Structure formats: C-alpha cells, structure tokens
Amino acid sequence: MALRRAILVVLLGALSALAIRPDSGEARGMSSMLYKRKRDKQTDKERTNMRPIIGVVSQEGDPAPKGHTYIAASYIKFLEAAGARVIPILADMPPEEVERRFKLVNGILVPGGSQVLRPGHGFYDVTSKIFELTLKANDHGDFFPLHGTCLGFETLAVIASKNHSILSEFDAENLPSPLFPTDKAEKSEFFSVLPHKVYENLLTKPYAMENHVNGLAWTAIAENPTLVDFFDVLTLSIDRGGRTYVSTMEAIDYPITATQWHPEKNAYEWTLDKDIPHNPEAIVITQEVGNFFVNRARRNQHNIANHDDEVDLLIYNFDLVYTGKAKFEGEEVDFDESYFFPPWEKVREVEEAKRQARSA
C-alpha cells in the first residue's frame, strides 16, 4: 500500500501540472451557464420531485437466458434504498423507444457488466442515444442526471472521447481499493455532498470495490482533448501491477458522473468469490452514493401523466430471479439476484395489450 501511495503522489502532481480543464469556447460556456442556472433554481422546495424514477439499462449475457437481457438486482436495490423506483431501458430497444422512456424518467444509471462498446451493439447504441439525449436536455435547461458504473464508466468514456480504442487492460478484478483524489475531488459535486467521514473512508480504506479488466489510463484522458474538455478527473486508482487508471469522473458542464468502482456491491452482493467489503462503514458508502444520485434525480421534473401507465412500466412487472447459487462446482457467481427481460418486441406487445385492455 505504501508503494502504491508513493506512485500516486508522483502521478497526481503530474496530472495537476497538466491543468486538464481547458476552455473550449462559447458553446461550452453557454452549456455551463445553463447547467448552473438550472442547478441554482432547484434549491426551491416546490421543485423537489418526491416520486423519482430512474431508468437502468439492461444488457445481454450471463446470467440471462438466451435471447433475454438482464439487470443485476443490486442496482435496483441501490436506487430503491435512496427513495427511487426503476423503469428498465432494454438494450434492444429502438432509438424512438429509448427517447420515449428518457422523457418519463428522472435520471439514468448505466450499470457494470461486459459488453462490446462499438456501434451496432445494443448496449452501446442505447447508451449512446441516452448520452445524446442527456446533453440535449441539459443544454435546454432540463436538468437530467446520468451515472455510469464500471462498464457504464467505460462506455461513457468511449462515447465522450469519440475514441473506441481509448480503454486499456488492467489487473483490477476483485480488488477493493482506496481512491486517490486529484485536486478537483474535494470541491466536486460528487464528493462534496458526501459526509466527510464517508469521503475520508473512501480515500484511506479499501472500500471502493474495483472489479474490472478494462479501464481508462490516466495518461489516456490527458492525451484526448475531447475527453479532457468534458470530464474532470476526481480520483485515480492503482491495479495490482502498479498501473494507474481513472476511477471517478464528473462532467464539467453536465450532471454526469462515472465510477469505475461499484458502490452498490458493498450492501447488495454476497458472493464468496469476491472480496466485497461488507463492514458498516462500507455499507454507508453504498447508501450515501445512492442518495447523491437519487437526490439529483429529484431535481428533474419528468413525469408519467397516467398512473396506470407508470405502474405498467416499472421493473416490478418482470421476474426477479435468484442467481446467487452456482449451477456447478467451481462456477463463479456475480449477482445474488437478477431481473430478466424478454426481447423488446415481446415486451412491447405485452405493454400494448395492457393499454388496450384499460381503454376497452
């Protein structure tokens, strides 16, 4: 740990010297002004949304059955514990349906996992559309928060940088770690709202659950002008081989945050295959990060006019499956519980049938 800290001292100094927050001109200034104006207005009590709904993006792959997509239930619990409900945004939805759901939710979380981050692949295409809609909404004064965790972090980095080769490999699977702050961390929106003890614990104890192969090297963000202009780097982390990567980012002009680490796992994933921190201080981190994101979503005023439509869209309409038991000896288990979703066309047919039944 002492060696890792020594390396970070040198790297943080170099990162600070880069002064990676250049002014890209009038367009960025206008965006920033709109964002700050909207943020300031939301201090009014009457603007607080007491029924926030978060969209969460699904993905293909294990543990979902063939032809289905899934969302790990830990992300849903993470949001529910902070006072939100969830509407799934399926990885095979067409752009027009993604946009429709965007207008019904108050924020979106892009979760961790493993997907191909290139155009033509559902998870990437849906997240790209969400990113585009998020920028457009905020540029027009419609405060809308977006957060990416692990794979979500990586996806936002690829999209914002416009570089599909910006990620590199790290030895950081199953590696609970402390976070090493840059000079932007303490006054950032993400960290400044956390209780001081929570912030201190994240920096001094291995409570940030890192569990990834791909990541964003700190040098890569410094070498990409587009990414430099979009994100502030808040924290760095070091893998087992001493390589440094970005672990927390916050957009400069938009309410967009990204953590390479998993805040949800501390409280809601219990596999023995991973060294997830479960002590009380680590659980508080889960709660406070969830509170931060959902409280941001409370500042958004999107709503679903018809309560029956709202109820039919919630994730509770889908099966919650226990996926925490290994199917065979030696199988690694990632998620205790998961929601499974049939192909979008089947989901659409069911939703349409419900609407027709109500209007009959």
Q: Can the peptide bond before residue 206 be classed as cis, meaning omega within 30 degrees of 0?
A: no
DSSP type of residue 65: P
- φ/ψ of 249, rounded to 5, equals -135, 155
CA distances from 20 to 17, 109, 161 (A): 8, 26, 14
* Catalytic residue (one of 68, 147, 212, 262): 262
* Catalytic residue (one of 147, 150, 212, 302): 150
Cβ atoms within 10 Å, residue 71: 27
Which residue blocks in the chain are alpha helix, DSSP H?
2-18, 26-41, 73-80, 95-102, 122-139, 151-161, 189-192, 196-204, 218-222, 225-230, 265-268, 280-297, 307-313, 344-359
Q: Is 150 a catalytic residue?
A: yes
Burial of 66 (0-12, 13-18, 19+ CB in 10 A): exposed
CA distances from 327 to 73, 135, 269, 281, 332 (A): 19, 43, 18, 33, 9
How many residues in total does the chain contain? 360
Burial of 341 (0-12, 13-18, 19+ CB in 10 A): buried
Q: Is 212 a catalytic residue?
A: no
Instruction: Using alpha carbons, select from 271, 256, 253, 4 the residue that is nearest to residue 147.
Output: 256
Place of tokens 């990541």: 215
Active site residues: 150, 262
